[in-house]
Chains A and B, each alone.
Chain A
């Protein structure tokens, strides 16, 4: 068995003599050639700043990424046509303003250090892959050298060596008879003599070892100064308002709790100085930031600070997973309202003690008067909040409903939308500043700052108690749009509208009862019958057949039989439904199916109001026929002819469809008894419906409450954001599209038939991002432009900084931003020097006009053009960059040689 030759293996044996190393080289060349041919075909229209192509390679047992970085630049045009032959080091990109996002492109540091526009990197695959072995590094580098030589790409090729975090690369470039070697030194602490320019120049010269004197070395320098103590200019949302003002609970929270700006970096830059024109030694330096050629500034932001608005939404998001009811959470504190379980109890003991005056409403709250311990919210907080929700309880309320628009004359800097309200057209929510709007704001505060879920339940409980109190005492609910349940609004709003409609009917009924009790001589009829011809009527009709419930005459129509005037009867008010009830009804209708019987059954179900109208009509028009009813109710089903009858009106017949056999209309007419609307069975039982609403509110679980409020909260959150955006001095460039996206998400959330928490989560994330941006701009504005000078450049700079872009400060300290930076540094230095003991003068030179602290990072770039390696060689570029940080010392070098004359 063992001796059997595996055929497949046999035939796959590679008899070529190419080594792994040669295969690697061939692979790299192949990729490069392919890349080049692709490049010719495509016109580079890629969106990003850097175009990146990545391929995987295997060498022996290790995986490598071979990555091609190319900058999408159009500046080639300005640099002239001989650009191609130019050495990549000669771009003079010493300190650029570009943002290098290292998260995205791990090798982008090479572009920053050498100022390259295009380069290739071969690096070990994976996050921790390393080429620690020196001989291995050499093998790879020689592969790179062969590739650079063979393929005529004029692009530097790098090998990443050592541990990845060290970012150490070796590289090679070869073109136009010049070979450049790239080398990096990375140490924890710098060599002593390399801390200053003089030492570095010596090092550079030694390293070049040019056979003739080096003519001139160009020096560029960048010193980075960081500002972290902002003194009086620490910015928090709370800065503007007093922290625990009760009125701050009346709007949604906004902003961050720590300064979103962590560090402000100032970079003082000198470029292309001659080595002889500057001195930088331990004892003296020409590099005083105030005298720098350029200033760049960059902002470092606090990582994920807590954003209050987003956090408030997040609390609701969390609540969505909580299925306990209000009573579960409140436990003993709450007294469960058990409606009509013991009817006698209702008579003797009201579950909510009814006080005569509303002003004492807090006292009647059963929670507070409860002796079983302290309620979650104490009276001092609860009472103002309840007054805010129900301002009609206080005659002198500062916050009545429906007056907000008048007291808003503050001129906004700019308007994001012509009419924000229009943007909410498709939103199923409630009106701005309505009762449930306020309720959701208050509830979000309870979750966030006032004690969490317990406080939340407490407010909800009080809210429901108040609803019940108002129903039992026939008081309309404030802050609810009048009218029947509006299906375009959110469910909670519909429920309250429903409750208010029930209340209205209850109140009408009670006032009618009251007035009819006063005029007791009359019958208990609540309608005022049309009075004309009453006397005549009395003669005509017998006692049991007296007309009742007449609203008005219907034109000059007369009954067909008797010729008496045709009266429109009082009818029952329409049946009101909220959308959940409608959905149930629809489901019932749908479940019946589509056949003929089902159709008839549906007609029967729907016919209750028809029957009621018929009965009312019969009562108002004794002796009327179905024809009379149809003439009023469905005039198109009465076909008139030219002939006149004995009462002087046109004769006519019912339409064919009304004459059909087993016609539900005629059938019902025959069954209808003459009963005026007020004595009929109510089609809409307001007491029952109100109780349904109250029960609905009472027995919501946490997650259901949260669901009810999410649409309103989303609406309120967007309004809050827009408000903040419109007050910003520097516009967020994509603010409008971001708000539109929020609107779209919010609208969808509010309209989903089944609530989808995921959507709300996305919405919340977007809110947080925008809120953070706004806070960052606010913070920068507060620091850099505290007077709020309206200057386009300043605003743009602040906007750029907030977007993480470095900015150039024109005119340095003479500019507005520059002068602010100087004074903040001065302030910070003064604070610092007073706290530091005087003998600790190592970091702190004691001159009085010191403005800036010691640079946290110094960067030197030295460049020269030298003949190497021999006297008769051509001149080639030499380069050394030294990065001197606090915990890092890095030398980044590139040294060229003539490959033709050596």
Chain B
């Protein structure tokens, strides 16, 4: 119903200008700063308030890693309890999760375990997770110490960062690290499972030359 005649949609659909595509999800309680975090990364902008996400939204960013173009399709989810059934349906096929809490909010930190359970339940086994404590610019309101976050991450066996979307601290680092661990994991199992990265059917093998209309797309 949405496939209109607007040419820009078609262009986007045909945009195969990448070597791999990773589907990433940002999850965490409501108003921990998921949308701000994503905007900071994808658009390098910060607004103090974004409209609370309804359901699920996404942004795309292409990064380079080892001379390969990696297209990141980053899904931003609504944190409200009522949206759980909708958002968990999108966990499938995600290769990485950014699990976010707010260092000024105890409750969001306490929910981390629940979110991990959600990931375990609804995603594939090989999905990678990074725990992120956001809003670390608000040192005065901090209730979760860095050590507590670190400790929890170790307990869960995931990596940990404290970030600030507002001050642009560690935002890029989180994504880069996540891409790195996904790539590592991928090359581990690449020979055994060349299709790992094509969870969405659009990725390509490491060794394959990028196909599709990429040459035609070049406007220079």
Residues of A within 8 A of B (CB): 425-426, 484, 487-488, 571, 574-575, 577, 579, 582, 586, 588-594, 599, 601-603, 605-607, 609-610, 613, 633-634, 636-637, 655-660, 663-665, 744, 748, 751-754
Q: Which of B43-51, B143-151, B210-218 contacts A (4 or more CB under 8 A)?
A: B43-51
Please tell me if the beta carbons of A753 and B200 are within 8 angstroms of each other in the complex.
yes
Please tell me if the beta carbons of B58 and A609 are within 8 angstroms of each other in the complex.
no
Q: Roughly how many angstroms separate A574 CA and B82 CA in the complex, as a whole number?
A: 9
Q: Which of B86-94, B133-141, B153-161, B162-170 contacts A (4 or more CB under 8 A)?
A: B86-94
Please name all residues of chain B whose beta carbon is closer than 8 Å to the beta carbon of A601 when the two chains form the complex: 2
Residues of B within 8 A of A (CB): 1-3, 8-9, 12-13, 29-31, 48-60, 73, 80, 82, 85-86, 89-90, 92, 105, 122, 124-125, 192-193, 195, 198-201
Given contacts A657-B51, A665-B52, A753-B201, contact A593 B30 (CB under 8 A): no
Supply 28 A–B pairs (Cβ within 8 Å), ascending by A: A579-B92, A588-B1, A589-B58, A591-B13, A593-B8, A594-B60, A599-B57, A601-B2, A603-B55, A607-B55, A609-B55, A609-B82, A633-B80, A636-B105, A637-B31, A637-B52, A657-B50, A658-B52, A663-B51, A664-B51, A744-B192, A748-B195, A751-B124, A751-B195, A753-B199, A753-B200, A753-B201, A754-B201
Q: Roughly how many angstroms separate A753 CA and B59 CA in the complex, as a whole number?
A: 23
Please name all residues of chain B whose beta carbon is closer than 8 Å to the beta carbon of A634 when the two chains form the complex: 30-31, 52, 80
Please tell me if the beta carbons of A655 and B49 are within 8 angstroms of each other in the complex.
yes
Please tell me if the beta carbons of A613 and B82 are within 8 angstroms of each other in the complex.
yes
Q: Roughly how many angstroms separate A589 CA and B50 CA in the complex, as a whole number?
A: 20
Please name all residues of chain B whose beta carbon is closer than 8 Å to the beta carbon of A574 when the two chains form the complex: 85-86
CB contact between A590 and one of B29, B31, B58, B86 (< 8 Å): that residue: B58
CB contact between B125 and one of A426, A582, A664, A665 (< 8 Å): that residue: A426
Please name all residues of chain B whose beta carbon is closer than 8 Å to the beta carbon of A609 when the two chains form the complex: 55, 82, 86
Please name all residues of chain A whose beta carbon is closer than 8 Å to the beta carbon of B80 when the two chains form the complex: 633-634
Q: Roughly how many angstroms separate A488 CA and B55 CA in the complex, as a whole number?
A: 22
Please tell me if the beta carbons of B57 and A602 are within 8 angstroms of each other in the complex.
yes
Please tell me if the beta carbons of A636 and B31 are within 8 angstroms of each other in the complex.
yes
CB contact between A594 and one of B49, B51, B58 (< 8 Å): that residue: B58
Please tell me if the beta carbons of A591 and B12 are within 8 angstroms of each other in the complex.
yes
Please name all residues of chain A whose beta carbon is closer than 8 Å to the beta carbon of B60 when the two chains form the complex: 594
With A487-B122, A588-B1, A610-B54 known, 11 other A-B pairs at CB within 8 A are: A487-B92, A574-B86, A582-B92, A591-B3, A605-B2, A634-B80, A637-B31, A660-B49, A748-B193, A751-B195, A753-B198
Tell me how far the C-beta of A27 lies from the nearest C-beta in chain B, rounded to whole angstroms: 40
Please tell me if the beta carbons of B49 and A656 are within 8 angstroms of each other in the complex.
yes
Tell me how far the C-beta of A408 lies from the nearest C-beta in chain B, rounded to whole angstroms: 28
Please tell me if the beta carbons of B52 and A589 are within 8 angstroms of each other in the complex.
no
Tell me how far the C-beta of A192 lies from the nearest C-beta in chain B, rounded to whole angstroms: 63
Please name all residues of chain A whose beta carbon is closer than 8 Å to the beta carbon of B124 when the two chains form the complex: 426, 751
Please tell me if the beta carbons of B31 and A657 are within 8 angstroms of each other in the complex.
yes
Please name all residues of chain B whose beta carbon is closer than 8 Å to the beta carbon of A613 when the two chains form the complex: 82
Tell me how far the C-beta of B157 lies from the nearest C-beta in chain A, rounded to whole angstroms: 18
Tell me how far the C-beta of A742 lies from the nearest C-beta in chain B, rounded to whole angstroms: 13
Q: Roughly how many angstroms separate A665 CA and B55 CA in the complex, as a whole number?
A: 12
- The 4 closest A-B CB pairs, nearest first, are A606-B55, A657-B49, A574-B85, A603-B54
Q: Roughly how many angstroms separate A842 CA and B126 CA in the complex, as a whole number?
A: 72
Q: Roughly how many angstroms separate A592 CA and B59 CA in the complex, as a whole number?
A: 11
Please name all residues of chain B whose beta carbon is closer than 8 Å to the beta carbon of A751 when the two chains form the complex: 124, 195
Best-buried of A579, A592, A655 by chain B (most CB within 10 Å): A592
Please name all residues of chain B whose beta carbon is closer than 8 Å to the beta carbon of A607 when the two chains form the complex: 54-55
Q: Roughly how many angstroms separate A601 CA and B198 CA in the complex, as a whole number?
A: 27
Please tell me if the beta carbons of A602 and B55 are within 8 angstroms of each other in the complex.
yes
Given contacts A603-B55, A753-B198, contact A592 B48 (CB under 8 A): no
Q: Roughly how many angstroms separate A488 CA and B13 CA in the complex, as a whole number?
A: 27
Q: Roughly how many angstroms separate A744 CA and B29 CA in the complex, as a whole number?
A: 36
Q: Roughly how many angstroms separate A605 CA and B51 CA in the complex, as a whole number?
A: 15
Please name all residues of chain A whose beta carbon is closer than 8 Å to the beta carbon of B201 when the two chains form the complex: 753-754
Q: Roughly how many angstroms separate A494 CA and B146 CA in the complex, as a whole number?
A: 43
Q: Who on chain A is nearest to B6 by CB?
A: A593
Q: Roughly how many angstroms separate A484 CA and B88 CA in the complex, as a whole number?
A: 12
Please name all residues of chain A whose beta carbon is closer than 8 Å to the beta carbon of B31 when the two chains form the complex: 634, 636-637, 655, 657
Q: Roughly how many angstroms separate A753 CA and B125 CA in the complex, as a whole number?
A: 17
Please name all residues of chain B whose beta carbon is closer than 8 Å to the beta carbon of A748 when the two chains form the complex: 193, 195
Given contacts A656-B49, A744-B192, A748-B195, contact A606 B2 (CB under 8 A): no
Q: Roughly how many angstroms separate A613 CA and B82 CA in the complex, as a whole number?
A: 9
Tell me how far the C-beta of B61 lies from the nearest C-beta in chain A, rounded to whole angstroms: 9
Tell me how far the C-beta of B197 lies from the nearest C-beta in chain A, rounded to whole angstroms: 11
Please tell me if the beta carbons of A593 and B12 are within 8 angstroms of each other in the complex.
yes
Please tell me if the beta carbons of B192 and A594 are within 8 angstroms of each other in the complex.
no
Please name all residues of chain A whose beta carbon is closer than 8 Å to the beta carbon of B57 when the two chains form the complex: 599, 602-603
Please tell me if the beta carbons of B9 and A665 are within 8 angstroms of each other in the complex.
no
Given contacts A589-B56, A664-B54, contact A752 B195 (CB under 8 A): yes
Given contacts A487-B122, A594-B60, A754-B201, contact A606 B192 (CB under 8 A): no
Please name all residues of chain A whose beta carbon is closer than 8 Å to the beta carbon of B1 when the two chains form the complex: 588
Please tell me if the beta carbons of B48 and A656 are within 8 angstroms of each other in the complex.
yes
Q: Roughly how many angstroms separate A610 CA and B54 CA in the complex, as a whole number?
A: 8
Tell me how far the C-beta of B29 lies from the nearest C-beta in chain A, rounded to whole angstroms: 7
Best-buried of B8, B89, B122, B200 by chain A (most CB within 10 Å): B89
CB contact between B2 and one of A591, A637, A656, A659 (< 8 Å): that residue: A591
Q: Roughly how many angstroms separate A586 CA and B56 CA in the complex, as a whole number?
A: 10
Q: Roughly how many angstroms separate A754 CA and B200 CA in the complex, as a whole number?
A: 10
Please name all residues of chain B whose beta carbon is closer than 8 Å to the beta carbon of A590 when the two chains form the complex: 12-13, 58, 73
Q: Roughly how many angstroms separate A261 CA and B148 CA in the complex, as a whole number?
A: 67
Q: Roughly how many angstroms separate A609 CA and B55 CA in the complex, as a whole number?
A: 9
Please tell me if the beta carbons of B82 and A633 are within 8 angstroms of each other in the complex.
yes
Given contacts A579-B92, A657-B49, contact A425 B54 (CB under 8 A): no
Tell me how far the C-beta of B189 lies from the nearest C-beta in chain A, rounded to whole angstroms: 10
Q: Who on chain A is nearest to B1 by CB?
A: A588
Q: Roughly how many angstroms separate A602 CA and B2 CA in the complex, as a whole number?
A: 10
Q: Roughly how many angstroms separate A440 CA and B199 CA in the complex, as a whole number?
A: 26
Q: Who on chain A is nearest to B87 by CB?
A: A606
Q: Roughly how many angstroms separate A590 CA and B200 CA in the complex, as a whole number?
A: 12
Please name all residues of chain B whose beta carbon is closer than 8 Å to the beta carbon of A637 when the two chains form the complex: 30-31, 52
CB contact between A582 and one of B48, B51, B89 (< 8 Å): that residue: B89
Please name all residues of chain A whose beta carbon is closer than 8 Å to the beta carbon of B195 when the two chains form the complex: 748, 751-752
Please name all residues of chain A whose beta carbon is closer than 8 Å to the beta carbon of B13 when the two chains form the complex: 590-591
Q: Roughly how many angstroms separate A606 CA and B30 CA in the complex, as a whole number?
A: 17
Please name all residues of chain A whose beta carbon is closer than 8 Å to the beta carbon of B53 when the two chains form the complex: 603
Please tell me if the beta carbons of B12 and A594 are within 8 angstroms of each other in the complex.
yes
Q: Roughly how many angstroms separate A637 CA and B1 CA in the complex, as a whole number?
A: 33
Tell me how far the C-beta of A578 lies from the nearest C-beta in chain B, rounded to whole angstroms: 10
Q: Roughly how many angstroms separate A126 CA and B59 CA in the complex, as a whole number?
A: 62
Q: Roughly how many angstroms separate A636 CA and B195 CA in the complex, as a whole number?
A: 41
Please name all residues of chain A whose beta carbon is closer than 8 Å to the beta carbon of B55 when the two chains form the complex: 602-603, 605-607, 609-610
Q: Who on chain A is nearest to B54 by CB?
A: A603
Please name all residues of chain A whose beta carbon is closer than 8 Å to the beta carbon of B54 when the two chains form the complex: 603, 606-607, 610, 664-665
Please name all residues of chain B whose beta carbon is closer than 8 Å to the beta carbon of A610 when the two chains form the complex: 54-55
Please name all residues of chain B whose beta carbon is closer than 8 Å to the beta carbon of A588 when the two chains form the complex: 1-3
Best-buried of A577, A599, A754 by chain B (most CB within 10 Å): A599
Q: Roughly how many angstroms separate A658 CA and B31 CA in the complex, as a whole number?
A: 11
Please name all residues of chain B whose beta carbon is closer than 8 Å to the beta carbon of A753 when the two chains form the complex: 198-201
Tell me how far the C-beta of B111 lies from the nearest C-beta in chain A, rounded to whole angstroms: 11
Please name all residues of chain B whose beta carbon is closer than 8 Å to the beta carbon of A603 when the two chains form the complex: 51, 53-55, 57
CB contact between B51 and one of A488, A586, A602, A665 (< 8 Å): that residue: A665
Q: Roughly how many angstroms separate A574 CA and B84 CA in the complex, as a whole number?
A: 10
Q: Roughly how many angstroms separate A610 CA and B55 CA in the complex, as a whole number?
A: 9
